[in-house]
Structure 1
Amino acid sequence: MNYKKITETASNYDNLEQMDTQLVLENINREDQKIAEAVRLVIPSITKLVDEIVLRFNRGGRLFYIGAGTSGRLGILDASEIPPTFGMPHESVVGIIAGGDIAIRKAVENAEDNAEQAWIDLNEYNITKDDVLIGIAASGSTPYVIGGIYEARANGILTACITNNPGSPLAQAADIPIAINVGPEFVTGSTRMKSGTSQKLVLNMISTTLMIKIGRVRGNKMVNMQLSNDKLVDRGTRYLVEALAIPYNEAEKLLKIHGSVHKATEAHNVK
């Protein structure tokens, strides 16, 4: 299959080692400014995907991410932030990385080259047709991710992908491809830079919009966040002070009794 491997094209800059520190930083920043516009161009595809995920979540479905290396770590990062931020169960959004959890910190040799392993990993979670699978790979050619997408799609599961090479094998394999063309990296081929940043932006957009649409946000507040530290208790208390027009001490007591801003607000309004 012929497609332009944008992620492997030469940097727009050369002789990087001869630049002074400020010039290196300015040039990295200049490249980074292109990312948001590239993401804006794929919002129609993200919209279609989020609406499909919402339909499945509302009937008990889940969201899965699979990836290798940086892409896999970004999926795990996004998934891990859903429970504390939105109070959802850990199994509602699941990130899986080629090579297993050890690969989060240390590269596992050849893990991304196994085209069968992703489907094996996914079946440990009993993935079903109510779930959605998003494969993440900057290159769009990672066998682990492509194999997982093919098997999921063959089993009637909605698939999507986040890649930085339009027309890549991964983009061709997924039901809903999100292909973000951020251009060549500042350091040639270093997809942890612009490509990785674009993936993080899209993941933020997908999961945050999903949580808003299924009712985990009220107004502009994280009303279902886990109260796992003093900072979050204080934040939740201040939300209640604002929403209910009650003193701080009363709001804090109400929050600790009910465990979330959402439940505390409902209990107060029932009075």
Structure 2
Amino acid sequence: MGFRCGFLGLLHMDVILQRLEQEYGQVVIATPPTVPYKVFMRDGSEKLISNPAEYPASEFILRTEEPMIIGKIVAPNEYFGGVLKLCIDHRGVQVDHESLEGGRMKLSFQFPLSEIITDFFDNLKRISSGYASLDYEDNGYATADVVKVKVMLNGEEVDSLSSIVHKTRAAPHARSLVKRLKKIIDRQMFAVAIQAAVGNDVLARENISAMRKDVTAKCYGGDITRRRKLLDKQKEGKKRMKQMGCVELSQEGFLKLMKNTEDDD
């Protein structure tokens, strides 16, 4: 159980979380935002899915519909190009354009709700130097070609890292996600394989090498046999650790994953 909250961008969310912790002593577990998808199954049933981990396999799905909104953006005319590109990059379709007094414009776009709930408002403020405003209203549901991108750490699926994205964005989203996870996850005593996949197709992979202890440091002379035995013993130990160990991702790591504007290079 929890609360579904709305914020004016990621910075606003960070401020609220910090105040809850510092002023009220409440440790809050925050998860990435989601939207409810209508999933129509081949057996005739219909499901409302908000948790990506519950999204059915594609072979059981007839079609999926996602929530849409009409967003109205007011900004100075000089930022028209940047605002237009931002809207198109977030799968927006322009429905109206109106000139206002004072050298301003009002753009109306239809968006999938999933495209604006994370970093859209932050980016809008950034490219308009803080002058743009956004207002939106519900606009029903529309058929969407979406897929579930799942994340696996050493072959184990991590439900909390799964996401539902448009099919055309699955590959770039997967590459970006595993790169950011590689930066966020601490090195372990065993190697960690980070994979992002759609179904059985792995779209991206990154590896985090294991921390290495020099077990031959106390070997004096040129006893190759003893050095080899120590290295083989270390290798076997790391294999067992990889089988039994688990990789943890901190709350701070989850918050970093939500900041899609982070540089992946």
**Common fold: TM-score over 0.5:** no
Q: Answer 1 or 2: which has greater strand percent.
A: 2
Query: Which structure has the greater CA radius of gyration?
Result: 2
More contact order relative to length (CA 8 Å, sep ≥ 6): 1
TM-score (norm 1): 0.26
